[in-house]
Structure 1
Amino acid sequence: MKKTSLIQKLEVSKKEFLEISKSIIQPNIISDQKKYRILLKKYMKLEKIVFLYEEYKKRLASLKEVDFILENDSDTEMKELATTEKYKILENLSSIEKESYNLLFSSKEESETEDNRKAVIVELRSGTGGDEACIFVEDVLRMYTMYFKKSGWKYKIIHAQKGGIKGYKEIILDLNGEKGVYGNLKFESGVHRVQRIPKTESQGRVHTSAITVAVLPKVKDIEVNINLSDIKKDTFRSSGSGGQHVNKTESAVRLTHIPSKITVECQEERSQHKNFEKAISVLRSRIYQNEKEKRLRKISIKRKSLVSTGDRSIKIRTYNYPKNRVTDHRIHKSIYNLEGFMNGNIQEMINLLKLFENK
């Protein structure tokens, strides 16, 4: 596709995005849930296209500046620098063109690659920082659930373990939505660090805590074959919600995959059978992810990139409350609107990570 034709298509998408932006906040649209969901879905797709379009225009402007230097500057060193810069810009433009084309003309019958998966398991766990880490797990959970709502995705809690004072030591979600759920959320796997003054801090000192996030693609039986003889099953009394049912029957399930030593608990359902089914689903996803990470670690050594490895031991992001800043360390990008980010406005960062990965 010619550049002029692509720009025209992107311009049309931008106009449509601006129109939907105005109409989607109208009371008559919000009250009509069916119409609202359709427009929201369009809005989310167009938002990605518009973001790419703005990035594309910036790169084209930079290209003009570089070409001007190459044509008019007599300094040999400057020309060499400009030539190197031009090569980088052209690479960026090619990457943006490719992604824009995919978004504009993606087929409805597109095969379900891993990035197109509609269902994922999201796991959040407290790390260093004690009670403050548990509270931050709850804060990040709220951030994600607000993002899910904006995206029109549905989630259900599979397992939850409360923190000592507040928040969660661990929480696991089963998330379902349109194609691309995993393709967007896979970048969230890793260590999330928070720097802020805890409510319990009397001296006003800034503390650093950390939590881990794992996003696992939900896989089918045929993708991961689990031999039941390799699984140790334990049952125990639920400590979660359930009214009189709690602590009366051993409905909670703990599964241990003996070869990999991976353990999964599920206690949110009242039925032991349902808890077993959910635990098996999580176990299958973890085994799949475990094998995938081994492969990706080998690849990442060659690529020198940790964006899509899903390595949960890598510090990927810092949330600095005193400076109102969230920084993604993989792409060295900071956004100075922490409040908005924690309210679920994380798509901009995800889009930048996608661009980086495509490069």
Structure 2
Amino acid sequence: MENEKPFEAPQGKQSVIIEMRAGTGGDEAGLFVRDLYRMYSKYGSSQGWGQRVLDSSQSDIGGYKEIVFELQGSGAFDKMQNEGGVMRVQRIPKTEKQGRVHTSTVTVAVLKKPNQREAIQINPSDLKIDTYKASGPGGQYVNKTESAIRITHKPSGIVVTSQSERNQLQNKENAMNILAAKLLQQQEEADLSKLTEARREQIGWAKRSEKSRTYNFPQNRITDHRLGKSWHNLENIIEGDMEPIFKAFRKI
């Protein structure tokens, strides 16, 4: 990836795993996944964060059906934690011949990677591990060995995959990191559900909502529906200048 920085894990730094999937809108949604990944990657580079792709599935026209990647550095989770939800894009697709604006969606999940204090205990006997050949767009094999990994956590039913590396051991490590982050999120959500309704209201909105943010390209506008706030500099933000959004969240 063009902005990917060699990954390091210095002590005291935050790590966040971001999982994005194309929703409604077909190929256009996949292209928007690519655009969002590029936006987050550029912002991460501007902050000096390490980053790496843990898993991805490309579409035939250069987008992503899904991508899972990690950002690691000072303030990574604090800033990215509010990026979860359903992101909506309104624009004229390149394949649209009549100039009509289409609406597509992308789902974004933001997972905190467990640190040593939050270490998730995973029993190896609870895992079903499968290997398969990694494939790229159009079904072309990335390599001819079974380097891709699929891990099923039997107690929770969570399934994770990784095929971004040519090495099976590295893909297994990536998949285990994704699984640990998802189990931590599941544990935190279970703890949250035990709190009173009043306490939940103090914490804020749910991590998932039907429509978290809209990127309206014809109007050069981004609207965050949770904040009830809009910015009319979409072009700058989509190029990685996300600080106005993060600043607005810090004020609440």
Matched ranges for 1:319-334 at <5 A: 319-334=215-230
Cα deviation 1:234-261 (Å, max 9, x = unaligned): 00011159xxx94421111000111111
Q: Which residue of 2 aligns with 1:201?
A: 96
Alignment partners' CA distance in 2, 1:219 and 1:176: 12
Q: Which residue of 2 aligns with 1:225?
A: 121
TM-superposed deviation, 1:299: 5.1
1:187 and 1:308 in contact (8 A); partners too? no
2:35 to 132, 136, 139: 139
Alignment partners' CA distance in 2, 1:125 and 1:214: 9
1:185 to 69, 80, 104: 80
Q: Which residue of 2 aligns with 1:304?
A: 201
1:307 and 1:330 in contact (8 A); partners too? no
Cα deviation 1:275-300 (Å, max 9, x = unaligned): 11111111000111122234345659
Q: Which residue of 1 aligns with 2:174?
A: 278
Aligned-residue Cα RMSD (Å) equals 2.4
2:110 to 215, 232, 235: 215
2:143 and 2:166 in contact (8 A); partners too? no
Alignment partners' CA distance in 2, 1:216 and 1:271: 24
TM-score by length of 2: 0.87
* Identity, % of aligned positions: 46
1:256 to 152, 160, 163: 152
AA aligned opposite 1:169? K
Cα deviation 1:71-119 (Å, max 9, x = unaligned): xxxxxxxxxxxxxxxxxxxxxxxxxxxxxxxxxxxxxxxxx6xxxx511
Matched ranges for 1:1-359 at <5 A: 118-178=14-74, 180-220=75-115, 223-240=119-136, 246-296=142-192, 301-302=197-198, 303-304=200-201, 309-311=206-208, 313-356=209-252
Cα deviation 1:281-328 (Å, max 9, x = unaligned): 1100011112223434565943437856432x4421000111110000
- Residues 159 and 289 of structure 1, relative CA distance in 2, 3 Å threshold: same
Unaligned runs of 5+ in 1: 1-111
Bigger share in helix: 1
TM-superposed deviation, 1:223: 2.4
TM-superposed deviation, 1:166: 2.5
Mean Cα deviation higher: 317-326 or 345-354: 345-354
TM-superposed deviation, 1:219: 0.8
Mean Cα deviation higher: 291-300 or 213-222: 291-300
Q: Which residue of 2 aligns with 1:53?
A: none
2:24 and 2:104 in contact (8 A); partners too? yes
Bigger share in strand: 2
- Residues 297 and 209 of structure 1, relative CA distance in 2, 3 Å threshold: farther
- Residues 296 and 317 of structure 1, relative CA distance in 2, 3 Å threshold: farther
SS in 1 for 2:32: helix
Alignment partners' CA distance in 2, 1:132 and 1:325: 18
* Higher alpha-carbon Rg: 1
AA aligned opposite 1:318? T
Alignment partners' CA distance in 2, 1:141 and 1:261: 27
Alignment partners' CA distance in 1, 2:170 and 2:123: 19
TM-score by length of 1: 0.62
- Residues 351 and 296 of structure 1, relative CA distance in 2, 3 Å threshold: farther
Alignment partners' CA distance in 2, 1:263 and 1:203: 41
Alignment partners' CA distance in 1, 2:230 and 2:196: 24
- Residues 143 and 297 of structure 1, relative CA distance in 2, 3 Å threshold: farther
Unaligned runs of 5+ in 2: 1-11
1:240 and 1:268 in contact (8 A); partners too? no
1:121 and 1:217 in contact (8 A); partners too? yes
SS in 2 for 1:350: helix
How many residue pairs end up in the alignment?
238
